[in-house]
Structure 1
Amino acid sequence: MNQAIKETAFQFPGQTGFYKGKVRDVYHFPELLVVIASDRISAFDVVLPKPIPYKGQVLNQIAAKFLAATADIVPNWVLDVPHPQVTIGKKCEPFKVEMVIRGYLAGHAAREYKAGKRSICGVSLPEGLKENDPLPFPIITPTTKASEGHDEDISKEDILAKGIVSADDYAVLEQYTHALFQKGTEMAKQKGLILVDTKYEFGKFGEEILLIDEIHTPDSSRYFYADGYEARQEKGEPQKQLSKEFVRQWLIANDFQGKEGQRIPEIPQEFVEEISDRYIELFEKITGDRFTKNTSNHLSEDIEKAVNEYLTKLNQP
């Protein structure tokens, strides 16, 4: 296993700021962002104590592939991927909402439905649905973008009423979200998968709306295996899925859902390795590519060198 990156603390020439997200370390420059995908893992909006080897590489490389594959549909922020765990792109002003889109009743939506709710983020749901059933059509259920703590469900109406996003911009976000989900669904189907739900984030670079962050990764998306899906639904069996839902289920089974007063359970090394293997499985399944582990024992030094080389090249006349 490689030397997993839990956090970074670089000082790059020209750097103007630093932000540590749940998973990513973001280095700010006047018009650039250098985003390092760490090996941290979060669940229930809490960062778990142990890093997961190769997770950052998996996320960064899946995102790079899908951002490139959707660039003709939606313009995005990426300028270069100089290292398996690094993306450099345009520094956008992010919208303070995440555009969650769901094609199936799963995860958070299923838990809300089971609790008796028939409306999520202002979107009505029909009676008689079972967990993991397809929805009549994909629905957008936005959340607020919390800088720390929990993201909160919010309706389109509240977003517009509170002026979080203008009506004109929100119409573009909706259009882009549906187009991306359709493309992601088609690409998943080609690999024998069902894209169940996912989230997209957007920002503005000048007046242009760009897709930012990652897309269609196991941190931002849920996938079911298409083979056997209908039979499992008919029998009321859990779906075979590729996402980090299995991490959430393990935490729930160990009495943790990120609620006040709950302690994060100790994660055994065997489970850390299982998480790593599951992330690699998803990479290979969803991309169709073989995953090549970056086995360097000098990840931090390699990342720093790759970023510095990019910055040097950028500043050459």
Structure 2
Amino acid sequence: MLAEFDLIRRYFTLPTHDVHQQGVALGIGDDAALLNPQPGRQLVVSVDTSVVDVHFPGGAPAEAIGHRALAVALSDLAAMGATSRWCVMALTLDQSQFADDNAADAWLSGYARGFATLAGRHATTLVGGDVTSGLLSIAVTVMGDVPNATALTRSGARPGDVIAVTGALGGGAGGLALWQQGERNSAHPLLERYLRPTPRLAAGEALREWATAAIDISDGLLADLGHLREASGVGVRLSLEALPLAEGLEQALGLEAARQAALTGGDDYELLVTLPPAHVEKARQQLAVSGVPLHVIGECSDIPGVHGLPVQRYHGWQHFKGETP
């Protein structure tokens, strides 16, 4: 395998003229990057770590791993209504997974291609990072911006607001279930949603004008809705029948398990938002421009808790399970 700095130069360094066009005064190759934020906008920063066989299967295509590592980080910017601009990446490589230099080159080329393709799609410039040896893991820090005082947060929902989600739910959990059953056809819609999630950046920017609160769905609808409820101090009533199920989910799992996947499965990376009822149609029309549907699934109330479901307590994904105060 190439030495650290040769590896960075070969797979992750952009031409200088491309970097300077993206607001980067100094990019990869020095001790730190120098960036040029735009006046009148606030910087939005988030970090996400992906660990092999925890967040993605080690046998997944390298290109999908690269795509996914960036996509899940960009999803946090989408939830804030931010425009993505830059990222840094810390890549820990397990050298024992490569039989020889050709195997290492094939994996790194695929990984870099998946990462760079998604970055290019969202005008996101890789400006630095680190490469080291150990258990395969990827930490991606993303940076974006929003006009001053316009960022979406989790704390703005109010009683009377409706609750809505972009796209469809349960696809991430459904795709993981298929992978665990041995499905490897990456063209399968559920497997595609699991391995190559779509960060809803354009939708987040559009919803900034209409939504009162937002969060991305990474740990499951109910778990992430719980964070929004707590931050906003509201209760919610949901409609089980209104949940938009991912294509092929009911056929793969059956209706009851499909709804469970939509509620608690995680890895969907759709946006969960609240907004006044009068803004729903305007928001739908704006999202339709980018081909993203918006589905109303419930409403906020001043009655604490989650109502409207047959079972009142659900758990989404948590890395550390302890006592909940």
TM-score by length of 1: 0.26
Going by fraction, where is helix more abundant, 1 or 2? 2
